[in-house]
Structure 1
């Protein structure tokens, strides 16, 4: 549980810092499309930083390894999806654009794994 709380907090911090950088440091240096891509990366980064906090809770609630697997899928998605959009925003290069959908699939897998792991939680008494 501790690992996922730390990773959620660190990634939440990073997404806020990168979002602020986009708003204040990047806005006047890149085009609208690049800025929009960067901001999309930061937004999805934050969503999935919060998802890691749900993973932490779910890891504590169930003995299933599915919750931790969901966490790794979310991390992979942050690196591939958000990372490729950050790269596009910083450089204007579309060299990593083929990686973005793979990150999106990792996000989807993470959410599916969360659902399956949650299914195994016994009902409250």
Structure 2
């Protein structure tokens, strides 16, 4: 649970920093479509940072506790951040469009993470 709390906080920090970087340093340096792509990466990173923190809180609570499905939820959300947001960040900076082909893998990881959170809730609540 400590791991997911730290991972969520670090990714929240990075999302804010990368959002500011995109807004102040990339404007006028990359095409507008890449600024939009960057913003999408930042938003999904922040949403799933909050998800990681929620997983940590649920793991530490007596209500749900440390279930395997909660761990899977956290790891899948973290993998989604790396693959989805990471590929979009690199795409925005490099313009290498083939990176867009791996972005959906991160999206599937996000979805699977939320499914695992639902499963954890159904097992205990």
Alignment TM class, shorter chain as reference: over 0.9
Partners in 1 of 2:66 and 2:88 — Cα distance?
35
Partners in 1 of 2:66 and 2:7 — Cα distance?
20
**1:21 alignment partner in structure 2:** 21
Per the TM alignment, residue 64 of structure 1 is displaced from its structure 2 partner at its CA by 1.6
- How many residue pairs match? The answer is 122
**1:34 alignment partner in structure 2:** 34
The structure carrying a bigger helix percent of its residues is 2
Per the TM alignment, residue 27 of structure 1 is displaced from its structure 2 partner at its CA by 1.1
Gaps of 5+ in 2: none
Partners in 1 of 2:20 and 2:66 — Cα distance?
38
Partner deviation per Cα, 1:49-73 (whole Å, 9 max, x = no partner): 0000111022223242110111110
Partner deviation per Cα, 1:85-105 (whole Å, 9 max, x = no partner): 101111111131111000000
Partner deviation per Cα, 1:34-60 (whole Å, 9 max, x = no partner): 110011000000000000011102222
- What TM-score do the two structures reach when normalised by structure 2? 0.93
Would you say the 8 A contact 1:62–1:117 is kept in 2?
no
- What TM-score do the two structures reach when normalised by structure 1? 0.93
**1:6 alignment partner in structure 2:** 6
Gaps of 5+ in 1: none
Q: Which runs of 4+ in 1 moved over 4 A?
A: none
